[in-house]
Structure 1
Amino acid sequence: MTYEEQIKKAETHVFKAIFPNTTNHYDTLFGGTAMQWMDEVAFITATRFSRQRFVTVSSDKIDFKKAIPHGTIVELIGFVHHIGRTSMQVTVEVYVEQMYEEHREKAIEGTFTFVAIDEDKNPITILKSNPA
């Protein structure tokens, strides 16, 4: 499998319904909850790409472009953005859609950096060799 095929296969999609227990006093999704979900989707994406242990080392520029009201559905999409020797960047896009309409738009986007680690929590190489 080529790197491009491996990256495509690792793409992760998760759907969530926005209920009152995840919203703030403005009836919109808590930013911290959104970031937690995004980090989880990014972690799953990184793990699916290489099947190694990963830890989050940073989250970069998370842009909240649109408030996400309760009573909507969100789709979180994680995809590998960059692969280094021991680290990987995963971008997560969050789309909001109305439950009873076809309207959908991007609400949040952010990038998360992960480092591959061994059993002793030391950084290790992500890619061993170039796949065929």
Structure 2
Amino acid sequence: MTEPTSPLPEARLLEMVFPDHTNHLGTLFGGQALAWMDKAAFIVASRYARRTVVTARSEEVNFRVPVRKGQLVELVARIVSVGRSSMHVEVEMTAEDPLTGDRRVCTTGRFVMVALDSNGSPTHVPALAP
């Protein structure tokens, strides 16, 4: 039995911000945020294409609100368009205070992921359902 698919394929991840993820100000390193966002983009693209995928490009990453040590972050990655072998993924990262429940979108970005065949060459991915 197959599960119904959502209109825009998505993946959700949760991470906890520990001290080793932060800078001297106690806020999340930008590189760590990018790594988590890239991971979410990789997961949604891999599941959609059912192929090996790689990151071809990250673009328009916006750091809106600092993420503090001890907060939770939820990453939601959605495939928004598909080319012949590429998938355009939007990722939104939301920070949450685990004690108050206050949530804020802190970082957004777009990633281009490319599906590869067994020889490491770009290969076809299915069209995005209307």
Instruction: Give the TM-score normalised by the residue count of structure 1.
Output: 0.89
Q: CA deviation at 1:52?
A: 1.1
1:54 maps to: 53
Residues 54 and 7 (structure 1 numbering): CA distance in 2 closer, same or farther, change over 3 Å? farther
- Give the distance between the partners of 2:30 and 2:107, measured in 1 at CA: 10
CA contact (8 A) 2:72 2:98 kept: yes
1:114 maps to: 113
1:83 maps to: 82
1:22-61 to 2 correspondence within 5 Å? 22-61=21-60
Give the number of aligned pairs.
Answer: 126
Instruction: Give the TM-score normalised by the residue count of structure 2.
Output: 0.90
| Structure 2 unmatched ranges of 5 or more | none
Percent of residue pairs identical: 35
Q: What is the root-mean-square deviation in Å for CA atoms of aligned residues? A: 1.8
CA contact (8 A) 2:49 2:115 kept: no
Q: CA deviation at 1:5?
A: 3.1
Q: CA deviation at 1:81?
A: 1.3
